[in-house]
Amino acid sequence: MTHTGGHDVLLRLRNVSKTFGTVIAVKPVDLEICRGDFFAILGPSGCGKTTLLRIIGGFTAPSSGDVEIDGQSVTHLGPEKRPTNMVFQGYGLFPHMSVRQNIAYGLRIAKATAPEIERRVAQTVELVRLGDLQHRRVHELSGGQQQRVALARALIMRPPVLLLDEPLAALDLKLRQAMQEELRRIHHEIGGTFVFVTHDQGEAMSLANRIAVMHEGELVQVSSPEEIYRNPRTAFVATFVGDANIFKGRRTRGIVELDAGVTVPNDGPDGEVVVVVRPEAMTIVAVASDGRLAVKGTLTEIVFLGSFVRYTVLLSHGQAIVVQASGDSSHAMARVGMAVTVAWHRSAQTVLPA
């Protein structure tokens, strides 16, 4: 799925911030989310991502700024008056009702006709694949099934914007992966705009077409998953999204000198920098040729992980780096304790201010 290039902005935040007393939960944010986006707000616990989602949904009032949906300000509207629906982390289901009654609840409150409720419930039950379970009580369901009910209850209202707060956090890994597939399929089938919060970078990368990375209340980078992975804007983004080797160094008059003993030309202001290199962009070589950069060290660990092997190399100045190679690669002779050379192409590194 591609980003629509900003031509059809559905949700716009202008200078939105939130403070709780002296605590700044969300620093001023400007953000545009387009119609049809599957948009992830990604960050560690306590970074402000759920607060931001609750501001979009109307559950938390911003301290400053404006929330617009479809060109209309909704900043002062409650959740029930916004064209959004939220699936909470705890699902918020009614235990005394059946699956079907839970799903139909919103339509009944909205005073839809009985035939309309019947038709929409049947469609939605089919969409989330709960047909066999629709007459069961909620407490008889597994976590994954309860998650589907919560999703169905939100989707039946056909919200232009569906908000999901850590929707899969309570599920085990295999179920989480299965539900990711379901969410992708549902988004594809109904073509709505999904905004979800997660601390799981794998989940964000596999589901979203655009990701906003949050750190300490600030949106530090908003881009496609590929762009965030390949061109992180900060060392935090580089290490939070995927594995990264971070070399410290200093730039003086266009030359970066790393603590690891490597020198590389790089334009920019003088000062402390970090150089980011992904483990899969590095190789263990006999000799570093064709202009590649290289560091020497001792191989301290080899971990076979099926499709790839992870090597840990301790450099002479005390830093450990990780090299990832395919499981069938030619490093079969590598042994713990060996002296090795690790090389990478300059095009595979990102230089950032420290």
State in Å, rounded, how far the first CA of the chain is from the last one: 34
Measured distance CA(301)–CA(342) in Å, rounded: 14
232 shares its domain with 312:
no
pLDDT of 45-56, one tens digit each? 999 999 999 999
Q: Which residues of the chain have pLDDT under 70?
A: 1-7, 328-332
Measured distance CA(104)–CA(171) in Å, rounded: 24
40 shares its domain with 138:
yes
Give me the pLDDT at residue 161, please.
93
Give me the pLDDT at residue 333, please.
72
Which contiguous run of DSSP H or E holds residue 106? helix 99-109
Give me the pLDDT at residue 4, please.
41
| Residue range of the domain that includes 322 | 243-353
**Considering 237, 259, 283, which residue would you say is the last residue of a domain?**
237
pLDDT of 105-114, one tens digit each? 988 888 889 9
251 shares its domain with 225:
no
Give me the pLDDT at residue 272, please.
94
222 shares its domain with 303:
no
Measured distance CA(164)–CA(158) in Å, rounded: 14
Give me the pLDDT at residue 178, please.
82
Give me the pLDDT at residue 110, please.
85
Which residue(s) pair with 91 in the sheet?
none
Give me the pLDDT at residue 287, please.
75
Count of domains forming the chain: 2
Any idea how long the chain is? 354
Q: Computed from CA positions of residues 47, 206, 208, 146, in that sequence, does the dihedral angle turn out positive or negative?
A: negative
Give me the pLDDT at residue 329, please.
62
Give me the pLDDT at residue 5, please.
43
Give me the pLDDT at residue 16, please.
97
Domain contains 134:
yes
Q: What's the CATH code of the domain at 266?
A: 2.40.50.100
Q: 240, 287, 229, 214: which is closest to 17 by C-alpha?
A: 214
228 shares its domain with 254:
no
Measured distance CA(13)–CA(10) in Å, rounded: 10
